[in-house]
Structure 1
């Protein structure tokens, strides 16, 4: 059973906080921490000893055990090996990562992780699944109201973790239509944008991924009402997702989801095809 003394283990003078000091820490982080503490005690180690073995400070180990800070994948890999955990910590890592996401997005992220297909139209920004770390970090850094550095780190890590869907086995069928304005909108500096364009070319070359650009000169089209996602679950249920101003909504109604699908099909026919889109992005890279 967890003791107060053990929960407050910390480097002399540092004064680590307890879970009670962080009211909104996700339950997934606390569950992981409780399990980590059990495995550590079973192995006969204190927090300092575990930290020494896996290459983390006592404060970092204490923070994870107390549910104040989420474990990163590298932490879990090291702890699994040191504690002979048998995969139980690794099994929780996906939930830990998902809890780093903004609250409004977490429900949809559950469906997304196991999607059979996922089609997205995004007129103003590069899709989160296609973003580089620098691009994602620049977006979170520009959030209003401002986010703390810790939250920016967590949201960035979670966004990059979602990108496992691009290469997950079995492969999902993925399609992205990005507005030309999104590609020309300078998020971060020129180096950030150049890296982002190059990344789009690399991801677009994957055999299960199609990246299309909606040209700015297209005029009236069915995507002017805003971004949306159409997703098929592994049970072959079709869902929609819309998001604006930090509010997200999973759409279940078959009639509404069908309308999303029709619009997406229309947008695919109006956007540049894959080859033409790649050429446009290559030109952008060449202009920097």
Structure 2
């Protein structure tokens, strides 16, 4: 197995943001290189992670692109800590950690996501996301809920791209049955997941209730695989999240994924179970009091 190489996840985050800021200004790498009196290949390699990042270079690019002060401070801090492996963040109500995940996962060739309690963010409908966010943190104001819903749904743009990554979602059967939203919203969510499973780039599996103890009981995770960079793992709890890079961590998460993929129902049987769960909600509504 190839051992860890390449730039750290912090540097990947900076590289992705440099590219995003440039594209937002509708500038080419050549435009930036000309303004900073350097080669076009240098700018391109900084954006793709093929070149190490230095504070002076990044500061010059951010200045030319007129990046807001808060973004400049955040990215320069990441460059200074760029050689550190693994990235642990404490986060509050607003989705800074989701922004980091969105920026990093958009370059992924494959996204492998296990969820034991809720539908994966990449597969949530707007109504489901809103009810879930509000229900799990009732102290949030409506504007804060709106912001979090928008951030969560913005992740889904990646699965609609022409060059969409391969996405493999595994959920516990509990996800299909837990009544965290109204029956109408739940039914729509189940149909949405079923529709996603029919896409060429998306695989959906369900771990049935009948499964014995397994690694997924320890919590949700995302594995991000890249064409030319090492795999990352992203894990999240209520008040923090972490990007894991070290080989021992990645090997452990990958082993858990392989086990879950083995014990889960086949994609075909999973689709039938999802359809059955949606049908039961329809039947309950039709035969209710």
Class of the TM-score when normalised by the shorter of the 2 chains: 0.5 to 0.7
CA deviation after TM superposition for structure 1 residue 101, in Å: 5.8
Give structure 2 stretches of 5+ with no counterpart: 1-20, 26-64, 72-92, 282-289
Structure 1, 123-132 or 214-223: larger mean CA deviation: 214-223
Larger Rg: 1
Task: Give me the whole-angstrom Cα distance separating, in 2, the residues matched to 1:143 and 1:287.
Answer: 25
Where 2:265 maps in the other structure, the secondary structure is coil
Aligned to 2:133: 140
Where 1:114 maps in the other structure, the secondary structure is coil
When normalised by structure 2's length, the TM-score is 0.63
**In 2, are the aligned partners of 1:138 and 1:188 still within 8 Å (CA)?**
yes
Structure 1, 192-201 or 137-146: larger mean CA deviation: 137-146
CA deviation after TM superposition for structure 1 residue 102, in Å: 1.3
Q: Does 1:214 align with 2:207?
A: yes
Task: Give me the whole-angstrom Cα distance separating, in 1, the residues matched to 2:156 and 2:98.
Answer: 15
**In 2, are the aligned partners of 1:177 and 1:211 still within 8 Å (CA)?**
yes
Task: Give me the whole-angstrom Cα distance separating, in 1, the residues matched to 2:195 and 2:98.
Answer: 26
Task: Give me the whole-angstrom Cα distance separating, in 1, the residues matched to 2:139 and 2:119.
Answer: 21
Task: Give me the whole-angstrom Cα distance separating, in 1, the residues matched to 2:259 and 2:158.
Answer: 25
Task: Give me the whole-angstrom Cα distance separating, in 2, the residues matched to 1:145 and 1:193.
Answer: 20
Q: For 1:121-140, what aligned pairs fall within 5 Å after superposition?
A: 121-140=114-133
**In 2, are the aligned partners of 1:240 and 1:250 still within 8 Å (CA)?**
yes
Task: Give me the whole-angstrom Cα distance separating, in 2, the residues matched to 1:135 and 1:120.
Answer: 18
When normalised by structure 1's length, the TM-score is 0.63
Aligned to 1:117: 110
**In 1, are the aligned partners of 2:109 and 2:225 still within 8 Å (CA)?**
yes
**In 1, are the aligned partners of 2:222 and 2:233 still within 8 Å (CA)?**
yes
Q: How much is the aligned-residue C-alpha RMSD, in angstroms? A: 2.2
- Of 178, 183, 199, the match for 1:185: 178
Where 2:216 maps in the other structure, the secondary structure is coil
Where 1:142 maps in the other structure, the secondary structure is helix
Aligned to 1:199: 192
- Of 247, 251, 256, the match for 2:249: 256
- Of 159, 162, 166, the match for 1:169: 162
Task: Give me the whole-angstrom Cα distance separating, in 1, the residues matched to 2:245 and 2:94.
Answer: 21
1:158-198 deviations in Å (ceiling 9; x for gaps) = 21121011122312011010011111111210000000000
Task: Give me the whole-angstrom Cα distance separating, in 2, the residues matched to 1:202 and 1:246.
Answer: 32
Task: Give me the whole-angstrom Cα distance separating, in 2, the residues matched to 1:188 and 1:163.
Answer: 21
- Structure of greater relative contact order (alpha carbons < 8 Å, 6+ residues apart): 2
Aligned to 2:98: 105
Distance 1:248 1:133, change over 3 A: same
CA deviation after TM superposition for structure 1 residue 123, in Å: 0.5
Aligned to 1:270: 263
Q: Does 1:283 align with 2:288?
A: no
